[in-house]
Structure 1
Amino acid sequence: MAKNWEAVYEKWLNFENLDVSLKADLEAIKSDPKKLEDAFYQELTFGTGGIRGVLGPGTNRMNIYTVRKAVNGLAKHLLEHVVNAKQRGVAIAYDSRYMSQEFAIEAAKVLGSYGIRASVFSSLRPTPVLSYAVRYLSAAAGIMITASHNPPEYNGLKVYNEEGGQILLEEAEQITAAIQATGDELLVPVRDQKELEDEQLLRWIGEEVDRAYLEHLQGITKMEPSVLEEEKDLKIVYTPLHGTGTNLVSRGFAQLNFPHVTLVEEQTVADPEFSTVESPNPEEHQAFKLAIEYGEKVDADILLATDPDADRLGAAVKNKDGEYVVLTGNQLGSLLLDYILSHSDMNVYRNARMIKTVVTTEFGRAIADSYGVETIETLTGFKYIAEKIANFQSTGETFMFGYEESYGYLASGFTRDKDAVQASMLAAEMAYYWKSQGKSVLDALETLFEKHGYFLEGLTSLKLEGKEGSEQIAYIMEEIRERPMKEIAGMKVVTVENYVTSERTDVATGDVEIINLPKENMMKFILEDQAWVCFRPSGTEPKIKYYYGVCGNSNEDSAEKLQSIKEALDAVIAGILEK
């Protein structure tokens, strides 16, 4: 933590070699103490796999100096903990955001000062391709410059371990310690770019990794060879939301012989302002506005949208009235799971595993159970799913599918992070299969509901920015932990799960069992009638999130139950904030 923000601000302001544009930005806010304090009162936290923040000057902002400091910590960690780190090097990719390519090069310049080779993609790439590249190149680590689906003023840096997954808690703690030991972010050593290129300590990656990735991508299909070879009459509209997905998603569709793909042209432009959407987030329905217009023109069967770094996928399909309905992440994930299991060899079911997070729908568990496939639950974050996949190499278990409610899916472990390119292929394939059966995707979803129950979920995100917001989020979580609820919306709490203490408590008996997951600032309440709620602060944004799920006898029944829970939780949070 920067203890005296005024002193840190003065140090930056008086630094002789301060980047010219950052110096101008500092001058522009020098008469606004609140903005200055927010920029300097702390250092960007190395949280969920890396750093993420608003672009600008200051220790609490994304800029070349905070990037250098983070990468300096990573370099020290690699040299101490990873075998042959210098020779194996670090794979680096970046998305379409402001400063993404510049930050990628800055990362290479810091690594080069330690003699660690950086292999940097020559143009923007999706996050899953970076995950794949780490393993393909046998790199010691990976860096992805992205802020995923955050607003345009954000950027971030995600770190991947040698398995191609986002770094885990122990690795993050080691890197954090190395970052904190770095000292002055303004004085981190860097090498000259041209020198590094001449010495092969900075090399540029072209098409080689893409081609290898696409070979693996074709291997995930569940279609019979005869079906694979024929041209398919499914009409697809695809948008990359101004991000990185266009090239590989388009080539993937071509491999599977989906010729009727319409791109949302305005959104194929890699635009850091994301100028045609309020937010480049496929979780939000407004992101589909242009795709729906295109869909209506070409009578599309399915609309697909990937977020800027193409690790999340949203989908919309037609209802009986011919209107496009945006599926939730839980619904799309459950449909993909059922498609994969129904098209898999029954002999693999015994050792097969489906992985989901603790805040992902229970619908998936019900579907997996019906095939005799075991469900494994992890903490929120795809890095934990990736960790399980890596463990399967020694346990003999078979990974079938992993997903989380926030539109992240993975069908094959050749990448070790959520992969919207993979998911786009499977979503199109699944829609084509149901069309060939004379059914829509919503017909298939209704059949699953009738069989397993009408599962429905909701999420409320409360944004609380700045220093005061951080304190409010901490206070809310403390209140919920210290005074756990006994009933919510008239439904009794059956079990309380405290992930800080790793304890699961049976409310009726008081019996306690250990939760065998890493500790996390999260509270989950299991209610009667298969309902549940969960509270957790976001790892990447200044938000507290509360998730809730129900299982009713009909869509209407579930919607009513869900609304009652939402209103009850809103009242609880409002009451805590009033204190």
Structure 2
Amino acid sequence: MSNWEQVYQQWNSFPELDESLKVELKKMQDDPKALEDAFYRELTFGTGGMRGVLGPGTNRMNVYTVRKAVNGFAKYLLENAVNVKDRGVVIAYDSRYMSQEFALETAKVLGAFDIKAYVFETLRPTPLLSFAVRYLATAGGVMITASHNPPEYNGFKVYNEDGGQMVPREANQIIDAIKDIENELMVPVLEQAELEERQLLKWVGKDIDNAYLEQLKQITKMKEDTLNQVKDFNIVFTPLHGTANDLVLRGLEQLNFTGVDVVQEQAVPDPEFSTVASPNPEEHQAFTLAIQKGIKNGADILLGTDPDADRLGVAVKNEAGEYTVLTGNQLGALLVDYILSNTDSAMLNNARLIKTIVTSELGQAIASSYGVKTLNTLTGFKYIGEKIRQFDATGETFIFGYEESYGYLIRSFARDKDAVQTAVMAIEMAYYWKQQGRTLLDALEELYKKYGYYLEGMTSLTLKGKEGSEKINEIMETIRKSPLREIGNLHVEKVEDYRTSERMMMDTKAIETIDLPKENVFKFKLEKNSWVCLRPSGTEPKIKCYYGVFGSTREESEQTLAELKGTMESVINEIVTS
């Protein structure tokens, strides 16, 4: 009997197994492949936490894998933070299946360690959880969410006492603590009644929302007379069945943007996300209903947030009168320009822009023109949060942080990407440009003309299950062992292997050290300020290939981008089919 079969038998014979999981296991009993996929490994706990398909098994999200993760997190906190039991942990959750149940399970495991839990009474956005950690001065935080993943997923994200996601050195200690737990079925818990009786469970209401909104009001760049005016500006907003509706509407109302029309079909929390193929504002189909409403109402701008409200998409009309969804890089560049151009130049001397290594270089070019230094991090907002925390010691000033995947942070009262902050700032920025007789697309074109045509792209390949995971590893290893010397028609000047923290000059073979944490990422630096980067997703069964190009005209950049994509797709396909 193989190891996974032994684990399956342990679960199947456990007398107190959750009834719903018993039913699911019974359905799977004659499907060895499904059982193997559910039990062949433990659900991966990465730097941000874990995310997976709901169901029975060690490779699935369920009460037992959540309990095991919380047990490890509790041990980590007790060893690495002070006064943990009294400070406690704050817990929030989104609209997904089992989110509220997993939040309570988290409190039940923490209670077994005598650690107090603050649990929101109803669903809340991820950025509010980050803010709540700081506002309540807790020892950490937990967010139950799978962000924009399909309905069958849920996830468990952990936050440090600064309100940021755990970075590798912190997460590795949690992972070690989780590994010490031999049987997830036997993790001790306290029941809700006992938690409440011992005051180890405190329900959180609107107080934190109100405190967050007070901070949100301060991020505006508008002058007081403009701020106090009721704005003639038509907005369509969709929270995509998630958590953002209340805070976004209240945040806009504070700035006197009252012309907000919500897509009502998508305003109701729905774990099936029944009106969209995917609740992801990165995908244009998520804007279908918003576009219909925008056309009907003549909206100036459309906003869409993902279910846990840490990502924002924006659409505006083009010259043909059709709504165009901005990319994450485009919106990020526009925000960099708007924020810096409306900030006192004296405040920019020590200001820092933070972006990731797969984010457009246009933002850096804009920042440099204002004398603002740009810092690059690995992919993942946890690294941006870590940099902000370091600024407390260095005296540097955080001015803006973003990544290409629609994640932005304006002010650091939250330490994770924040679609609520960004929604408010994006509307303010679009209104500013409307007063100048321009759209965001007009403003973007001006940036391209001034700084050059930086264009970006991304392709992803989904490879599910055990075989898919092995194939993704094979793609990465094949390219590492035999790195390309030319991609498209561009010469490869450098290769950067973030797993070994080494940068190699292709012509001389000279080696430099990369001063960033180790991660399974491989990047080609090409001539003409272009690049290609390969990275397996940390949250989905995907391998992603990112592209960045630069040209003096749009046509030049579009042609280069197409050539890079063609080469990489051909290389990856050859490895997959071999």
Q: What letter corresponds to residue 422 of structure 2 in structure 1?
A: A
- The one-letter amino acid of 1:214's match is L
Q: How does 1:203-222 map to 2 (within 5 A)?
A: 203-222=202-221
* Cα-to-partner distance string for 1:371-414 (whole Å, 9 max, x where unaligned): 11100000000000001001111111111000000000001000
**What residue is the counterpart of 1:447 in the other structure?**
446
Given that 1:3 and 1:42 are in contact with CA atoms closer than 8 Å, whether structure 2 keeps it comes out as no
Aligned positions of 1:388-467 closer than 5 A: 388-467=387-466
Alignment match, 1:479: 478
| Aligned equivalent of 2:147 | 148
Aligned partner of 1:66 in structure 2 is 65
- 2:11: which partner in 1? 12
CA distance in structure 2 between the partners assigned to 1:425 and 1:410 by the alignment: 11
Task: Quote how far apart the aligned CAs of 1:101 are.
Answer: 0.1
Matched, 1:32 2:26: no
Provide Cα deviations, 1:86-110, integer angstroms capped at 9, x if missing partner. Answer: 1100000000000000000000000
Mark the runs of 5 or more structure 1 residues left unpaired by the alignment.
none
Q: Which AA in structure 2 matches 1:456? A: L
RMSD: 0.9
State the secondary structure of the residue aligned to 1:158.
strand
Matches within 5 A, 1:138-537: 138-537=137-536
Map 1:44-59; keep pairs closer than 5 Å.
44-59=43-58
Q: Secondary structure at the match of 1:551?
A: strand
Does residue 122 of structure 2 align to residue 112 of structure 1?
Answer: no
Paired with 1:299 and 1:551, the residues of 2 have a C-alpha distance of 35
Aligned partner letter, 1:193? Q
2:143 partner SS: strand
SS at match of 2:525: strand
| TM-score normalized by the length of structure 1 | 0.99
Distance 2:140 2:386 in 1: 15
Please say if residues 22 and 56 of structure 1, whose CA atoms lie closer than 8 Å, have aligned partners that are also in contact: yes
The separation in 2 between residues aligned to 1:285 and 1:563, in whole angstroms, is 20
Whichever residue aligns with residue 408 of structure 1, its letter is G
8 Å contact from structure 2 (residues 47, 172) kept in 1? no
Per-residue deviation at 1:219?
0.5
Deviations 1:434-475 (A, max 9, x none): 000111110000000000011111111100111111111111
Report how far residue 203 of structure 1 moved.
Answer: 0.6
In the TM superposition, what is the alpha-carbon distance from 1:353 to its structure 2 partner?
Answer: 0.5
Give the C-alpha shift of residue 557 in structure 1: 2.1
Q: CA deviation at 1:510?
A: 2.4
Q: Secondary structure at the match of 1:547?
A: strand
Q: What is the one-letter code of the residue matched to 2:328?
A: G
2-structure distance, mates of 1:171, 1:66:
20
Partner letter of residue 127 of structure 1?
T
Amino acid at match of 2:389: A
CA contact (8 A) 2:90 2:133 kept: yes
- 1:449 and 1:455 in contact (8 A); partners too: yes
Give the 3-state SS of the residue equivalent to 1:159 in structure 2: strand
How far off its partner does 1:480 sit? 1.1
What residue identity is the alignment partner of 1:147?
Answer: A
Instruction: Output the amino acid matched with 1:531.
Output: S
- Is the CA contact 1:48–1:540 (under 8 Å) kept in the aligned structure 2? no
How far apart in 1 are the matches of 2:470 and 2:218?
A: 48
> Could you report, residue by residue, the CA deviation over 1:48-79 in whole angstroms, capped at 9, with x for unpaired residues?
31110000000000000000000010111111
User: Where in structure 2 are the equivalents of 1:90-105 lying within 5 Å?
Assistant: 90-105=89-104
Preserved CA contact (<8 Å) 2:53 2:60: yes
Shift of 1:553: 2.2
CA contact (8 A) 1:238 1:291 kept: yes
Q: Which amino acid aligns with 1:229?
A: N
Q: Distance in 1 between matches of 2:4 and 2:47?
A: 25
Query: How much has 1:555 moved relative to structure 2?
Result: 2.2
Code of the aligned partner of 2:457 = G
State the AA in 1 paired with 2:280: N
1:97 partner amino acid: R
SS state at 2:349 partner? helix
CA contact (8 A) 2:125 2:244 kept: yes
| Distance in 2 of aligned mates of 1:56 and 1:444 | 48
Q: Distance in 2 between matches of 1:27 and 1:555?
A: 57
CA distance in 2 between partners of 1:390 and 1:505 (Å): 31
Give the residue type in structure 1 aligned to 2:169.
E
| 1:127-161 deviations in Å (ceiling 9; x for gaps) | 00000000100000100000000000000000000
AA of the residue aligned to 1:305: G
3-state SS, counterpart of residue 304 of structure 1: strand
Structure 1 position 249, deviation (Å)? 0.4
Question: What is the rounded CA distance, in whole Å, between the counterparts of 2:349 and 2:508 in structure 1?
Answer: 34
CA distance in 1, matches of 2:439, 2:430: 7
Distance change in 2, residues 1:413/1:3 (3 Å):
farther
**Cα distance, 1:3 vs. partner?**
6.8
Instruction: Tell me, yes or no, if the aligned pair for 1:132 and 1:414 is still in contact at 8 Å.
Output: yes
Q: Secondary structure at the match of 2:219?
A: coil
* Residue of structure 1 in register with 2:133 after alignment: 134
1:509 deviation in Å?
A: 2.6
Deviation at 1:508, TM superposition (A): 2.4
What's the counterpart of residue 86 of structure 1? 85
Instruction: Check conservation: 1:29, 1:35, Cα contact below 8 A.
Output: yes
Q: Where in structure 1 do 4 or more consecutive aligned residues deviate above 4 Å?
A: none
Alignment partners' CA distance in 2, 1:47 and 1:29: 28
Q: Describe the SS at the equivalent of 1:219.
A: helix
Per-residue CA distance 1:331-371 (angstroms, 9 max, x = gap) = 00110110000000001222110000000001111111111
Q: Which stretch has the larger CA shift, 490-499 or 157-166?
A: 490-499
Structure 2 SS opposite 1:116: coil
Residue aligned with 1:344, SS = coil
**Amino acid across the alignment from 2:573:** A
Name the aligned partner's letter for residue 126 of structure 1: P
Alpha-carbon separation, structure 2, partners of 1:548 and 1:377? 16
In 1, Cα distance between equivalents of 2:482 and 2:348: 42
Structure 2: stretches of 5+ with no match in the other structure: none
Letter of the 1:46 counterpart: F
Q: Secondary structure at the match of 1:359?
A: coil
CA distance in 2, matches of 1:117, 1:175: 19
Q: Is the 8 A contact 1:458 1:547 kept in 2?
A: yes
CA distance in 2, matches of 1:394, 1:165: 16
Q: Deviations over 1:18-60 (max 9, x none)?
A: 0000000100111111100000000001113111000000000
In 2, Cα distance between equivalents of 1:6 and 1:15: 14
CA distance in structure 1 between the partners assigned to 2:398 and 2:326 by the alignment? 24
Give the whole-Å Cα distance in 2 for the aligned partners of 1:171 and 1:259: 43
Alignment check: 8 A CA contact 1:242 1:270 kept: yes
1:497-543 alpha-carbon deviations (Å, 9 max, x no partner): 11111111222232221110001111111111111000010000111
What CA distance in whole angstroms lies between the structure 2 residues aligned with 1:54 and 1:477? 24
Partner of 2:60, secondary structure, is coil
SS of the residue corresponding to residue 555 of structure 2 reads helix
- Equivalent residue letter for 2:141: G
Counterpart residue identity of residue 524, structure 2: F
Q: Deviations over 1:221-259 (max 9, x none)?
A: 011111110011111110000000001000001001001
- The answer as to whether partners of 2:89 and 2:116 remain within 8 angstroms in 1 is yes
Asked if 2 retains the 8 angstrom alpha-carbon contact of 1:3 and 1:41, the reply is no
The separation in 1 between residues aligned to 2:322 and 2:369, in whole angstroms, is 31
Question: Whole-Å Cα distance in 2 between the matches of residues 427 and 519 of structure 1?
Answer: 34
CA contact (8 A) 1:241 1:308 kept: yes
Partner Cα separation in structure 2 for residue 539 and residue 457 of structure 1: 21
